[in-house]
Amino acid sequence: MSEASQATPSPEEARAQRDAARKADRKRWKEHARIHFVMGMGALTLWGAADAWAAVSGLAIAHAASIANALIASTIVASIVHEWGHFAGARLSGAVSPALEKRANHFFMFDFPFDRNDGRQFVWMSWGGILAPWALVLLVLVSVPLDGLGRIVLLAGFVTRAVQVAIFEVPVVRRAMDGGDPRNELGRQIAAGFGRSRLVGNAAGVAAFLVFWLAA
């Protein structure tokens, strides 16, 4: 038997290897899902408990706890949904996007190798993460009565995160859609910093808070 034939797997072996890789990947992203579910539900439950305490007691400390927990919950939940939006976009586009065995931080959960994916897949991946946080804004608007400070702050926090993501990522996507190299365009945006997106996002969040607080 030649060295070439030994190095090249048979069709059955190649299929078994692909199946094993898919199984391992599925196990990894399911583990990320479990961790993110616990994080999200924990944050929302703490906010919900503080919100209920504020509604029942009317105590200033309860309102303060509700506001603080709303800020925490909106940051955690929006970040989780943003990352899963990216992941969904990548998978829907057919991109190579293996779930990470070890997370880089609490939210990052998959890799997107630029040398193995094309511009269309990058655009799909990007738009998934851009649009997903807005689903949270709509969900709060249709399902949460905005008659308390903590509830309005929760909405404002989701608006803040959604705008921050859009301000930072939309220019990258537009340049990629115009033919720019995704890796280079993302690198340019990161090098420019997050200051503008944070400033605009925070301003949008404050504006959303004032609008709904004054309307309450």
User: Which residue's structure tokens are 């720019």?
Assistant: 180
**pLDDT the model gives residue 7:** 61
Q: What is the DSSP letter of 100?
A: P
pLDDT tens by residue, 141-155: 999 999 999 999 999
Looking up tokens 């959604």 gives 162
> How many separate domains does the chain show?
1
Q: Within its chain, how far is the Cα of 90 from the centroid?
A: 13
Query: Tell me, what's the pLDDT at 117?
Result: 97
Higher-confidence residue: 44 or 16?
44
Report DSSP state, residue 187: H
CA-wise closest residue to 172 among 93, 114, 215, 212: 114
Q: pTM for the whole thing?
A: 0.90
Distance CA 198, CA 34 (A): 29
| pLDDT tens per residue across span 120-129 | 999 999 999 9
Going by C-alpha positions, the residue among 147, 189, 142 that lies closest to residue 168 is 189
User: Do 108 and 28 meet the contact criterion of CB atoms below 8 Å apart?
Assistant: no
For residue 98, how many C-alpha atoms fall within 13 Å in the half-sphere facing its CB?
12
Distance CA 86, CA 132 (A): 8
From CA 175, how far away is CA 192, in angstroms rounded?
15
Distance CA 213, CA 97 (A): 42
Mean pLDDT score, 74-90? 97
Range of the domain at 29: 3-215
Say whether pLDDT at 133 is over 80: yes
